[in-house]
């Protein structure tokens, strides 16, 4: 993995991110696990550094919670959104499956907190005011708003919040204690946010995403689109639990690893080919799936090689546009693929 390591070190030198932690595992074996450089210029990264996972929250917490409820007979993927949110008239033809696969017709993003204020209920009210950009099931548009609604649906079904349900049902059984919505700030790599309440603040242990931060502000709920923190090892081990079994049965696993959206480009939880958002580089197999996070995080699963790759950075601490980081990430995954 020395060439992939060199790509990361060059990226750090060029200001793509202050540091990184990477974990590459294959069929239960750790091939590479290393902490590089610093979290903010002075504090060294460690293997136990917690990163703001941003949108990796979607598969790790939200989609996994939904699929756990489905496997236990508590929820149907075909359940109408209006069954849980009767006021969602614009989404009368949308289902839980549409929310999971970003085919509900909702737009990509709005600043929910500017319209309705803080809290999950306020964010849901803001979303339900929107007009759809296409009929459910006919239009793919990656949207954090889908997963904010999923957090509310999880609360409706379980009578508890997403963070508590995911911890008890997903993370604890897998032994992934380093996946948490409530991190120790002293262990966290900081970020700088240009959105949400108090933009431009340096955040440590507080979610970067503006909507998620506003949802968490009241202390009653968490968001479904962002807010999870974790280590590279914990993220990679979650990926292994999907790729090689340990979390779901074979029918669910298959739906996490193959296209489930119309038009194609999304599984029940991950980006997949031909979606250009799939963070797999150019050389991993066409079966490779994964998810990225705006802060500079990525998890990739490649069924062909049996490999799971977790790359965690806080690129938004240095460059919120990530003009250096994104091409570097593609080169990194290409170098890992070459090594494999």
Q: Do residue 312 and residue 225 come from a single domain?
A: yes
Q: Report residue 288 CA to chain centroid gap.
A: 16
- Domain membership of residue 168 as a residue range: 2-63+163-339
Domain count, the chain: 2
- On whether the CB atoms of residues 67 and 250 are closer than 8 A, the answer is no
pLDDT at 321 over 90: no
Question: Which among 128, 159, 190 is the end of a domain?
Answer: 159
Q: Do residue 289 and residue 174 come from a single domain?
A: yes
Task: Give the count of alpha carbons within 13 A of 172, CB side only.
Answer: 7
Task: Kindly report the average pLDDT of the chain as a whole number.
Answer: 96
Q: Do residue 58 and residue 106 come from a single domain?
A: no
Task: Give the count of alpha carbons within 13 A of 30, CB side only.
Answer: 12
pLDDT > 90 in the chain, percent:
94
**What pLDDT score does 201 carry?**
85
Give the chain's end-to-end CA distance (angstroms, integer): 8
pTM exceeding 0.75: yes
**What pLDDT score does 320 carry?**
78
Domain containing 197 — which CATH number? 3.40.710.10
- pLDDT (tens digit, 9 = 90+) per residue, 259-292? 999 989 999 999 999 999 999 999 999 999 999 9
Question: Which among 130, 159, 188 is the end of a domain?
Answer: 159
- pLDDT (tens digit, 9 = 90+) per residue, 179-213? 999 999 999 999 999 888 877 789 999 999 999 99
How far is residue 143 from each of residues 71, 109, 147, 150, 306, measured CA to CA in Å? 25, 6, 8, 12, 29
Question: Which among 129, 159, 189 is the end of a domain?
Answer: 159
Q: Do residue 126 and residue 21 come from a single domain?
A: no
Q: How confident is the model at residue 218 (pLDDT cuts 50, 70, 90)?
A: confident
What value does the mean pLDDT take over residues 44-61? 98
């Amino acid at each position: 993995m020395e060439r992939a390591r060199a790509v990361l070190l060059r990226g750090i030198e060029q200001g793509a991110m202050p540091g990184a932690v990477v974990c590459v595992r294959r069929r239960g074996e750790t091939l590479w696990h290393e902490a590089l450089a610093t979290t903010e210029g002075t504090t060294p990264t460690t293997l136990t550094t917690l990163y703001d996972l941003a949108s990796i929250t979607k598969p790790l917490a939200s989609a996994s919670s939904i699929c756990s409820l489905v496997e236990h007979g508590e929820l149907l993927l075909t359940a109408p959104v209006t069954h849980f949110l009767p006021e969602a008239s614009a989404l009368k033809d949308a289902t839980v499956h549409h929310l999971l696969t970003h085919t509900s017709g909702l737009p990509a993003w709005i600043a929910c907190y500017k319209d309705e204020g803080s809290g999950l209920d306020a964010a849901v009210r803001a979303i339900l005011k929107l007009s759809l950009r296409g009929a459910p099931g006919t239009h793919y548009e990656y949207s954090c708003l889908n997963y904010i609604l999923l957090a509310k649906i999880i609360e409706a079904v379980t009578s508890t919040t997403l963070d508590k349900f995911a911890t008890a049902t997903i993370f604890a059984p897998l032994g992934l204690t380093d996946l948490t919505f409530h991190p120790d700030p002293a262990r966290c790599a900081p970020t700088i946010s240009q959105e949400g309440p108090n933009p431009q603040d340096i955040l440590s242990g507080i979610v970067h995403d503006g909507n998620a931060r506003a949802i968490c502000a009241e202390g009653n709920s968490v968001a479904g689109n962002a807010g999870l923190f974790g280590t590279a090892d914990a993220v990679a081990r979650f990926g292994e639990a999907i790729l090689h079994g340990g979390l779901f049965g074979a029918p669910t696993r298959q739906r996490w690893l193959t296209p489930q959206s119309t038009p194609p480009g999304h599984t029940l939880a991950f980006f997949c080919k031909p979606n250009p958002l799939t963070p797999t580089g150019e050389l991993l197999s066409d079966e490779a799936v994964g998810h990225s996070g705006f802060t500079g995080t990525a998890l990739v699963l490649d069924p062909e090689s049996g490999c799971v790759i977790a790359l965690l950075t806080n690129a938004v601490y240095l460059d919120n546009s990530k003009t250096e980081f994104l091409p570097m990430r593609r080169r990194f995954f290409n170098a890992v693929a070459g090594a494999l």
